[in-house]
Structure 1
Amino acid sequence: MKLQTKIALESKQHNQIDYNSRLLLIGSCFVENIGNNLEYFKFQNLQNPFGILFHPIAIESLITNAINQKEFSEDDVFFQNEQWHCFNAHSKLSNTNKDTLLKTLNSQIQLTAKQLNSSSHIVVTLGTAWLYRFIETDTIVANCHKVPQKKFLKELLSVDEISESLESIVALIRSVNSSVSIIFTVSPVRHLKDGFIENTQSKAHLISAIHQVVEHKKNLHYFPSYEIMMDELRDYRFYAEDMIHPNNIAVKYIWEKFKEVWINLEAYKTMEEVDVIQKGLQHKPFNPDSEAHNQFIHRLLERKEKLQSVFPHISF
């Protein structure tokens, strides 16, 4: 008896992720769920250098600015609710000091440009096809930063507009890194503030547009995060308390599916060793001064040094 409908996954890819890979992850908050697992297992990765970016135009803007080495100035920031913000970035970068914000924006742009050039894999996660246009300047923003809604026009990107943006993203990336594998996915997080029907329409536009762009021969791939959550995990026990975000069990389940497709089998042994060390570092002893605990710490240090001798980039 089958109690679950399973999503068919791609077979193992030829350009899989191992401990020599460099990853850039950009997009919706779900990209951080995958990224946090990559971080835990000590893969080389950079997550959302401009914070969470929900729609494809915001992602395209970041990549464009990074490749063009844009330098942010006072014209690119504004003061609202006792903080300085930038419409191109998430509020996690906002700061009470204008100069600090500008310094952060420019350092993150440089970091993004460096990662675009050196990445072996780039994961792009789209969250919504809805966006907001700032009326005063007629520009699309990545984040409204709680500026009154009357100052924006809300728009739904068409399938063609999204696919054009994705094609532009691919072209921009390939202009500086021709061999990179690009993995697209759609966030399973529902944007219910837009409305139930509107959210469904938005996700449908994103999925349709991505499938107009992905092509294995061009090293452009799709990972079905959204479909796994909606179909394999279609039960509220897999959601957080808000009944919108996937809970830890769901995130772990989807990560295991991602690992099954994209992580090289030869990396599994290293991942197991990293996991042992991570759990050892989190261990809280009953008696920190005991001989047994000192021996435990010594063995843990030996394991760390042995692993770091093979992979110098790994740091705990």
Structure 2
Amino acid sequence: MGSTFFTKVQIPSFEWKTDYKTPCLFTGSCFTENVGGKMAGLKYPVDINPFGILYNPVSVANGLRFLLQKKKFTENDLIRHDGLWHSFFHHSRFSSPDSGSALQTINSRIESSAALLRNAGFLFLTFGTAWVYEYKLTGQTVSNCHKIPAKEFRRFRLTPGEIVEKYRQLLSEIREVNPRVKVIFTVSPIRHWKDGAIENQRSKATLILAIDQLVRDFGDEFCNYFPAYEIVMDELRDYRFYEEDMIHLSGSGINHIWNVFQTAFIEEESLKISKEVQKIMAATSHRPFNKFTKEHLHFLRQSLQKTERLEEKFQYLTLAVEKRHLQKQIAEIEKHIRD
């Protein structure tokens, strides 16, 4: 009945599914973190944004190429501004007042993510905008301007052809190092409103056209498109699905897309397991008014038993952090009761 009150987006029938045994790499805009974060919260083996949030296709491609090369960044790859060392290829979360610390964080993340890419079952790429910033001094397309004055950059919009050309060779190289990987493109539904309504639409249209061409070129046995943008534009055409800024999605909007996503991409057994994992995560985050009670101790012991049984039954699950948390809480309460 409810479905008659909105236009339903037809989701492609994806032949492949992921599960708790399959590593997945998510990279791209902040929407990537919304969906990838849902999987991480349910303990799926995922790696999310090894270069931080990246908005444009060129920056996403640069990051992937560095993973293929297993690049080691040096101080020559950094720039110092406002007392911090930055990488133009990384989000500001990797910046640091100490160059050595920044390089340690950057290189350790590249090392682990490069290894995961070679074993990943899925690579999820989310493009946010076709607009890019080019650092005039070097001609380099940057992932983040790091508050350096705008006059030092050239800003322009990519064409669909430029994006396609960038990815034709890159996707071929990725398939060479990992023949089993499936690439799923999405376009972020979060609007870049500072460009205005018209330019935002032109930017999103550029991304959609480029992705369509890549899927046609490579075939849907290797890559495909998940219509997150279209779901928001057509199924969630109501400002109650947005935050107060009327641009970013609210929790209920993200949850709607997540439900569509997991139905499309996660196999049935793992969906059932995730419901049990969710109960364990709720137990570890539960904060009672008075935790030093026998009732709460009983609740924690039961939760620990469920965690151990689940991990024993599905040995590819990793719930060590949750077990340690529960064990620590149990020991603290037992000591309090004894004393």
**What interval of TM-score do these two structures reach, taking the shorter chain for normalisation?**
over 0.9
Measured against aligned partners, the alpha-carbon deviations of 1:84-123 in whole angstroms (never above 9, x if no partner) come to 1010111111111111111112112212211110101110
Pairing of 1:167-182 with structure 2 (within 5 A) = 167-182=168-183
Q: Which residue of 2 aligns with 1:225?
A: 228
Q: Which residue of 1 aligns with 2:8?
A: 6
- Kept in 1, the 8 Å contact 2:27–2:126? The answer is yes
Distance 2:220 2:141 in 1: 33
- Kept in 1, the 8 Å contact 2:135–2:152? The answer is yes
Distance 2:291 2:140 in 1: 58
Letter of the structure 2 residue corresponding to residue 308 of structure 1 = E
Measured against aligned partners, the alpha-carbon deviations of 1:40-69 in whole angstroms (never above 9, x if no partner) come to 111000000110011111111111112112
Number of equivalent positions = 315
Q: CA deviation at 1:194?
A: 2.1
- Kept in 2, the 8 Å contact 1:60–1:168? The answer is no
Measured against aligned partners, the alpha-carbon deviations of 1:17-48 in whole angstroms (never above 9, x if no partner) come to 11111000000000000011101111000000
Q: CA deviation at 1:275?
A: 0.9
Distance 2:194 2:289 in 1: 47
Whether 1:284 aligns to 2:287 is yes
Normalising by structure 2, what TM-score? 0.90
Q: Which residue of 2 aligns with 1:195?
A: 196
Q: CA deviation at 1:308?
A: 1.6
| Rg comparison, structure with higher value | 2
Distance 1:108 1:149 in 2: 29
Whether 1:108 aligns to 2:106 is no
Q: Which residue of 1 aligns with 2:66?
A: 65
- The percent of aligned pairs where both chains have the same amino acid is 40
Q: Which residue of 1 aligns with 2:29?
A: 28
Letter of the structure 1 residue corresponding to residue 120 of structure 2 = S
Q: Which residue of 2 aligns with 1:43?
A: 44
SS of the residue aligned with 1:50? Answer: coil
Distance 1:313 1:3 in 2: 40
- Kept in 2, the 8 Å contact 1:63–1:172? The answer is no
- Kept in 1, the 8 Å contact 2:118–2:178? The answer is yes
Q: Which runs of 5+ in 2 are unaligned?
A: 323-339
Whether 1:254 aligns to 2:254 is no
Distance 2:68 2:163 in 1: 20
- Kept in 1, the 8 Å contact 2:21–2:316? The answer is no
Q: Which residue of 2 aligns with 1:134?
A: 135
Distance 2:275 2:44 in 1: 13
SS of the residue aligned with 1:183? Answer: strand
Q: Which residue of 1 aligns with 2:331?
A: none
- Kept in 1, the 8 Å contact 2:118–2:177? The answer is yes
Measured against aligned partners, the alpha-carbon deviations of 1:164-200 in whole angstroms (never above 9, x if no partner) come to 2232331221121011111100000111122221111
Distance 2:93 2:194 in 1: 21
- Kept in 2, the 8 Å contact 1:188–1:225? The answer is yes
Distance 1:306 1:137 in 2: 56
Q: CA deviation at 1:313?
A: 4.2
Distance 1:149 1:217 in 2: 40
Distance 1:199 1:180 in 2: 31
Normalising by structure 1, what TM-score? 0.96
Q: CA deviation at 1:237?
A: 0.6
Letter of the structure 2 residue corresponding to residue 163 of structure 1 = V
Match of 2:315 among 305, 308, 311: 311
- Kept in 2, the 8 Å contact 1:166–1:210? The answer is no
Alignment CA distance shift 1:54-1:270 (3 Å): same
- Kept in 1, the 8 Å contact 2:58–2:166? The answer is yes
Distance 1:313 1:277 in 2: 13
SS of the residue aligned with 1:218? Answer: coil
Distance 1:7 1:170 in 2: 27
Distance 2:274 2:230 in 1: 26
Measured on the aligned residues, the alpha-carbon RMSD in Å equals 1.3
Distance 2:170 2:92 in 1: 23
Letter of the structure 2 residue corresponding to residue 235 of structure 1 = D
Distance 1:122 1:313 in 2: 21
SS of the residue aligned with 1:38? Answer: helix
Query: Which of structure 1's runs of 4+ aligned residues deviate more than 4 A?
Result: none
Letter of the structure 2 residue corresponding to residue 179 of structure 1 = R
SS of the residue aligned with 1:214? Answer: helix
Match of 1:271 among 269, 274, 281: 274
Letter of the structure 1 residue corresponding to residue 8 of structure 2 = K
Distance 1:312 1:24 in 2: 18
Letter of the structure 2 residue corresponding to residue 114 of structure 1 = A
Measured against aligned partners, the alpha-carbon deviations of 1:231-266 in whole angstroms (never above 9, x if no partner) come to 100111110111111110000000000011111011
Q: CA deviation at 1:125?
A: 0.3
